[in-house]
Amino acid sequence: MREIYFDNSATTRVSERVMELVVRTMREDYGNPSAKHSMGVRAERYVREAAERIARTLKVSAKEILFTSGGTESDNMALIGCALANQRAGRHIITTAIEHPAVYEPLLFLEGLGFEVTVLPVDERGHISPAQLKEALREDTILVSVMYVNNEIGAVEPVQELAGLVHERKPAALFHVDAIQGYGKYRIYPKRLGIDLLSVSGHKLHAPKGVGFLYIDSRVKIRPLLYGGGQQGGLRSGTINVPGIAGLGEAAVEAYEDFDEKIAHMRALKDRITDAMLALPGVSVNSGRGEEGAPHIVSISVEDVRAEVLLHALEERGIYVSSGSACSSNHPGISGTLKGIGLRDKLLDATIRVSLCDTNTAEEADAFAEAMAELVPTLSRFTRR
């Protein structure tokens, strides 16, 4: 049976180029980058070159790239590190109702320390209102955190407008963006957009799991979460993950090669799937079409069919999708994003996510559509009984 992998927002397959580089750093250039001998120097060169390669994609300085274990650590570092470093200026933080748990949970931790968090609602398309953000800003606001692309429905937030509003109204406040689903799908230039901190995870763009980075503008005051040997300028102690970082640098370069063609290809697949789903009775799509929303995410709700049942029925045909977000738990609760956009209660547990990469094909999209056309009527009849 041929496998069709449509769960790329959960994780991606490591690319051949990335894999070759990772293996080289594990078998040949395996020194500790903190060591003073030539093996250490060679290892450190991989880390420096990866920072430079990533920085070029963002048009920032390599010194503003902090390597982490992935998106969760990057978000935690941005939120907790900045809140603790800037709390004398205020203890108010703003975020949105559709953020990933890697943002929500650190904010709950900060609330326990006495910080106050304002959560902004979203409209039916998953967008926050600039007017509501403007109203929520206060004299003691020190940090605003907004995701670039929502991981469940692909909603794209007006980041530049929001950042501009924050910096105009409260110049000292910091603007953090979780770009874990956006980096590699959009050209993101933090200094042009007004982004002070940007979180990225490697395994969403064909790099290994367990590596990511946090862009930190050189003017940002931030405290480390990890203490020890003082690696990475003292901001993140611990022996540096050279294979993962080298792979991430390669994946970043690869993501932006033939970029327009890759994005156009994914958008065409997204529209192909969306149109096929809208032709099925009882099926709705929450992720928009064409230029609306991210190019790689299709959120599909099916009347009278539980998401988990549909997911496993597709799996039996070799098609892999996710129910809600696969990033938080194997058994996620009801999605805050789907509730946030006002999805009807009966669809909250009846929504799957198809997420694409540039190597997916039209034939795979058609095979998925055919499987859905066969499964949905059968499963819905079974459910109604």
**Among all residues, which ones are annotated catalytic?**
327
The angle at the Cα of 118, spanning 285 to 329, to the nearest 5 degrees, equals 50
Question: 177 - beta bridge partners?
Answer: 146, 198
- Pairing label, strands 283-285, 197-201: unpaired
**E strand or H helix that includes residue 273:** helix 259-278
Query: Locate tokens 């499964």: which residue?
Result: 375
Query: Locate tokens 């959560």: which residue?
Result: 119
**CB-count burial class (<10 Å; 0-12, 13-18, 19+) for 27:** exposed
Task: Tell me which DSSP letter residue 129 carries.
Answer: P
The answer to whether residues 25 and 242 touch, using CB atoms and an 8 Å cutoff, is yes
User: Distance between CA 318 and CA 65 in Å, rounded?
Assistant: 39
Q: Which of 188, 189, 197, 194 is nearest to 217 (CA)?
A: 197
The residue ranges of DSSP E strands in 297-336, in sequence order, are: 297-302, 319-320, 322-323
Question: 353 - beta bridge partners?
Answer: 299, 322
- Is 179 in a helix, a strand, or coil? coil
Task: Tell me which DSSP letter residue 208 carries.
Answer: P
Please tell me the chain's helix, strand, coil percentages from 3-state DSSP, rounded to the nearest 5: 45, 15, 40
Q: Within 10 Å of residue 311's Cβ, how many Cβ atoms?
A: 19
Query: Locate tokens 């499963």: which residue?
Result: 379
Q: Which of 259, 210, 196 is nearest to 64 (CA)?
A: 196
- Is 326 in a helix, a strand, or coil? coil
Q: Which of 200, 107, 205, 122 is nearest to 158 (CA)?
A: 122
Which string of DSSP letters, residue by residue, matches 329-347? -SS--S-HHHHHTT--HHH
